[in-house]
Chains A and B, each alone.
Chain A
């Protein structure tokens, strides 16, 4: 398979679809990968080797690092687990009453946040056992991201909640998404001004947290991840968003197998990578944005899945400033 030389495939990939790839907090080296094969794996991408893996009782839907050696993960087994890669010990932290779809870490407040199909967000303090709080979101949670001390929750029914993690008594904002179709992913701008939201209908919205009407005016949505074949436009879900931590640009990955990098403030596409062999399900920029991990798995989007199913693969791609830096700043 032809690949550009700035990119390679990880060895020993998961045996089932990849649900999440996450780079460690301060390194380009370690990548955490959760998979539907019930394992969470830690890869050393520098040496292209699998360092550790640990198991859940069922498919794992999300994972995160809290520091270089601790991970948290949850999935269809309803259970939040943590793993210490130094001592290779795992700990069951607690449970939801349905699958855990999202696991996020808030470094500002040193807490783990889980979002579940049981419609609740729970907050966990790594230093104590049990959840320190459980908060109803009234819909199944599909995607979550922390934004400083705020938490963005995207749910079924096209809702977005903005919470202040320090005071979860009430939601700061309740929004309806600006997209007409089901939300796939939500991610906050590293500069905390706003967030990007993607839907199953090949579309991405850029929104701002400031409720000032002048600021709100700037929000917009655009189409992407669509392919035209024989006059039929195929519209693909946009499964993954990852922000470049420095440039405030973001990558999106779709079921069309493409990865695009966008400059959300200047409304430009900075680049498009080659088409991957199957759906892009997860993306993660490393801490300095020089590397992008691309998780590719077929995800049953079509009525008639291809046979045999495409293999699950994780690509590690080095990203240049040319590909990820705004061409110029908005005037």
Chain B
């Protein structure tokens, strides 16, 4: 398990063809050599990042990535370590390496290790094969935007694992050892991002899941169960939520039902006790209401006749409230008769409803109206500052309006 790396080629820098032992070092190299701003020496993350930085901060355009080979100086290609390298170049590099090294590097793989990935291929989420060809196109975007950090980790994993040999075979997706993505790698990536590993499966499994018969759903949960040997909780227990690893925790009850269902089990929400416990002042109002409903049923017609007028003219008057209430009670009663449902309406709720409204809706909120005059819910912004930022605590992700490329998004990726 610990020897995954030997089969793949070493990480190499697309800009200068130099090889590295570790992709982390490669990234350091790229930041120092190729992505460093020549004016302020800030280290950026990608070529386009550097270009945008120079454009926006220094008002200078950069047409070449510094220290790059002549044919690799494109500032528009987003490359981060091994991610984002054009497939053709990957392939070419691989071929050159094979030629120079001979086959020896291929053959020293212990045969006993090989069957495992292949044996697991049958369980691979069907999405993976389809997902692979898209990688090259998705990666650069994600790298620069950095929004899905999980994908980034996944790519790390792939870089170490399947890396170049797989990447350049979009037509041969099954080369991708799916268990390697699913399961934490024993190699370097594992301790770093154990929780990130599952991210690969969602991302990859998306494609191809369409139109899949529901009954086949069981198969897709198969790959995660390969986690078990890796020490993760067995997902095959449908009713529990899979643990994510030692360094992360899902803040959700372990049972795999919705929070609402769990909450609904609380005795408070069992129907009988609910009514008794919760009604604020229901005893008095319900007595009041039942009196009223008796009266109303006696003089129902009259009430109906008056209802509309009174309501329209003085909706907030006490008289109107009572009649509202009466009407509601009557309507609900009718409805309950029609549908044969138990209805609680006549037991006082209408009263609380109507009585509550005018009190709450009164002009007592005047103090809040002030700021609202200028526009809908918005104070005039302070100078040069969006209103939302006025008291934004420092250190919030929010504050890089100058970078449309979104450094604020990159941030979580690199923390």
Identify the A interface with B (CB < 8 A): 2-8, 11-12, 17, 19, 28, 36-38, 44-55, 57-59, 61, 76-77, 79, 87-92, 94-95, 99, 101, 117, 129, 138, 140, 142, 156-159, 173-182, 184, 200-203, 205, 207, 211, 213, 216-217, 219-223, 226, 228, 231-237, 239, 255, 262, 266-269, 271-274, 290-291, 299-303, 316-320, 322-323, 327-328
Contacts and interface: CB of A to CB of B under 8 A. Distances in A.
Given A94-B339, A291-B377, A156 B148 contact: no
Interface in B282-326: 311, 324
24 contacts: A4-B391, A8-B368, A49-B361, A51-B357, A52-B356, A55-B349, A89-B331, A90-B331, A90-B345, A117-B261, A174-B211, A177-B209, A178-B127, A178-B202, A179-B202, A203-B202, A205-B202, A213-B207, A219-B206, A222-B149, A234-B251, A255-B251, A271-B397, A318-B387
A81 B83 CA distance: 54
Interface in B236-255: 241-242, 244, 247-253
Given A235-B250, A268-B409, A273-B388, A88 B324 contact: yes
B252 A47 contact: no
B263 A300 contact: yes
A49 B362 contact: yes
Contacts of A158: 217
B253 A38 contact: no
B341 A92 contact: yes
Given A4-B388, A159-B217, A99 B264 contact: yes
A77 B278 CA distance: 15
Contacts of A220: 138, 142, 148, 151, 203, 206
A137 to B, nearest CB: 10
Nearest to A99: B264
B328 to A, nearest CB: 5
Contact of A17 (B130, B263, B376): B263
B378 interface: yes
Contact of A181 (B241, B275, B344, B356): B241
Nearest to B252: A200
Instruction: Say whether chain B's binding surface is mostly helix, strand, loop, or mixed.
Output: helix
A226 B258 CA distance: 19
B210 A216 contact: yes
- Among A181, A216, A223: residue with most chain B CB under 10 A: A223
**Which of A184, A233, A266 has the largest number of chain B CB atoms within 10 A?**
A233
Nearest to A184: B258
Contacts of A175: 209-212
Contacts of B145: 266-268
A32 B183 CA distance: 45
Interface string B359-385: 011111100110110001111010000
A92 B332 contact: yes
